[in-house]
Structure 1
Amino acid sequence: MKLPFDIKRLEELDPESHKFTLLALVGIIVLMTVAGLIAFFLALQGAEQTMVPEVTKLELTTALIKLQEKELYPRISLRFSSNPSDRGRVLEQRPPAGTIVKAGRRIFLTVSRGPAVNQVENYVGQTLDEVKIHLQTLFASTRPLLAIREPPVYIFDRAPAGTILEQKPVPGTEISGLTELVFLVSRGPEQARVKVPELQGLSIPEAIRRIEESGVAFAFSMRAPEGRERPGLVVSQMPAPGSLVAPDAPVSVLVSRPAPEKGMVAGLLEETLPVFPYLLKVTLTAQYPTGEKIVLLSAQHPGGLFSVPYVVPNNTVLILSAANRELFRREVRSE
C-alpha cells in the first residue's frame, strides 16, 4: 500500500506535527481496514432472501408477474397434458412454493402445451390396427383422450379386410375430454363358397398342403389307428369331398396317430383363439432344438378352436401367429 506521503519526511517535522501525522496515518489505516471488512461481509451475505410463491395452475403470464414481484426468474419447459383446459398453465414448479431462496434465483416451471391432439383426425381408409398403434404412440406419455369402442361394427365391403369405412365423431371434431371412436370396418368382399378337397388317405403334411391350396377352414382331430388303418393318415372328413361350403365353415378332418419314432414327438395341437371378425392367415412355425425354424402350416382361419396335428423332433417349440402377431408358443416333448 502506498501512503500519501513520505515517512522519511516525518523526521524533519517538529514533535507536535510528528505526533499529529502519526495519528492521522493510524486513522487512515483503521478506516481502510473497517471498510474492507464491511465489503467482505456484505459480499458473504449476498442477495436478499425471499419466499417462492405458489404459481402452479396459473396462466403463464400471471405466474411470471408473481415471480417478478419476488425478484425471481423463470426457466420454462413445455410438455403435453391430457386436459385441454391446461394449455398455457403451469403444471409444476421447482423449488416448491414456500421455499426460502435468495433473490435472483431461477425457478423451473413446466408449462402445458395442451393435449397432443385437440381434434379428431380422419381415420377413414386406414386399417384398424394402424389406428390402434397410432393412438398408443400418441398418448404414450399422457392420459388417453381417444378410445376405440370394442368391438367395431364389421360389414362386407370391396375394401380390404380391416379397412375403416366410416367413423364417429367426424374428422375435425374438437376434443374436450375422453372421446369414444366408433368405427365401421370392412370384413372384405363377401367370399364365394369354396369346394371341399379330397383329404382321405393323405398323410398329415399332404392334407395340410391341400387345405392351404383350397382355402377351406379346418378342424383336426386324432385317434389311434383302428383295424387296418395306417398310422399318420386322414381316415375321414366331413363334409364330403366336392361339397361347397362357406370359407369360414371348418372341415372336420380325422387323422390316425402317427407311429412312434425315436427322437420325434407326435400329437394334436389344440388352442382356443379369439374369434376373428374376418378370416386371418395363421402360421404355425416349429422351432427345432437346433434353432432351425420350419413353417408347418399357413392357412386362413376364422378363429375359435384351432387344432392341427404335428410330428416334430422332441423339445420343439411350436409358435402360432396371426396378422404378424404371436398368439402363443408351446414346447412339445415326449412323455
Structure 2
Amino acid sequence: MFRKRKKNTSLRIEVREVLRGCEAGRLQSVGYMQVIPLVSDLNDDRFVSPVQCDADVYTTRYGTLGFRNPSDSVMIVPCHAGYVVKQHAQDHAMAHAGVVAAAGDRRYNTAACIQASQGGFIKKGSYRMLILPHALREHALRKRGEKNYQKLWEDISVFNQRFGVTSQGHLEYFLQAFKKELDEFVAEFECVPRQIGAIVLIDDRVVGIERAPSHAYWQSIWPSLIRECYGSLAIEAAKANGDRPPERSPRLSLPVEIASLEELESLIAEIASQEDERARSTVRELLDEPLDLQHEETVADVSIDTATSEHFTGQVIREGEKIVYASLPATSAFVKSQEWTRAEPFAI
C-alpha cells in the first residue's frame, strides 16, 4: 500500500508492491548468475520501449540526449539507457529514466557522455540500446540532476581499472575487452512465456529487481539488462573468485553408481530444486523492505519517482498506485555485504 511519509511529500511503499501481480518462475542459473523470472498475465501494451518502436536517438550538444517517439504509444526510456555508436560521435547515456509522449520528441540535458575526449554528435537514427553496467548506475542516479556531460568519466575510469582495461572514461574499452563474455549472457538467459520482469542474483545475492509494463517491453530490454548491466557483475565475480564458485556446488551429492536414467533425472531435479529454494530464500527478507519514492516529474499521466531504501536505489514509473515500470539495482554496499539472513516463505 502507498502511504505518505509524515515529514515530507514523498511516498513510501514496500518492495512487494513493485512485484504485485507477479509470480516467481523457475530459477535460471549459469555460473555466478541466477535469474528468477517474474511472470504475470498483466500486460499493459500502452507503453513501448525505444527498441520496440525504433525510436530515433540523437545528441544536439554534449550532455543532451534526444528521443523521437514515432509510435502512438507512450515511450518509457529505461533507467540508464545508453548508446555506443560506430560513427564519429561521443557516446551518451541517460542518468535516469525518461518518458516521451506518443508521437513526441524530447531532449534530456542531464545525460552523460560515456566516451571521454571523443568529439561529434550522434546523428538522428535507431541504434542498439545498452543499459549501464551495474557498478555505474548508482553513480549516475546520484548525479541525475547535474548538467555536466563529464560527470561519469572518473567513475568509468575507476570501473575500467577494476577490470584491468585502460583506465579512462571510455565505456567502450570495457565493452570491447569483454564482448565475448557479455554476448554469452544474452544466449544463456532467455525470456520465458508471460515474463515481465526478473529478480537477478549473483552467487545467491540479490543484485537487482526489474519490472516492465508488458511482455513485449520486457523482451526488448532484457538483452541490455542481462548483457551490460548484470553481466558486468558476473564477470567481476568470476575475475575475483574464479570461473566456478565453490560455494555454489550442489548440496546433494551424486552416488558413485546410478542405476538408471530415471534416477539420474530425479537427482538432477532435486539439485535444481535445492538451488531454486536457496535463491528464493534470499529474496524473502526483502519483500517487506520500505522504499521511499521521491517524485521527479509527471509526463503523459505517469509519474517518475526515484526509489531508495537500505538495499536498493533506482527508479519506478507509476500510474497512480499502479507500478508500470521499475528498475531497482542493489546498492554497492549491499552487493558487497556478506551478511544474509533467512525469513518467512517466499510469497508475492
TM-score by length of 1: 0.22
Greater helix fraction, Structure 1 or Structure 2: 2
Q: Which has the higher contact order (CA 8 A, sep 6+)?
A: 2
| Larger strand fraction of residues | 1
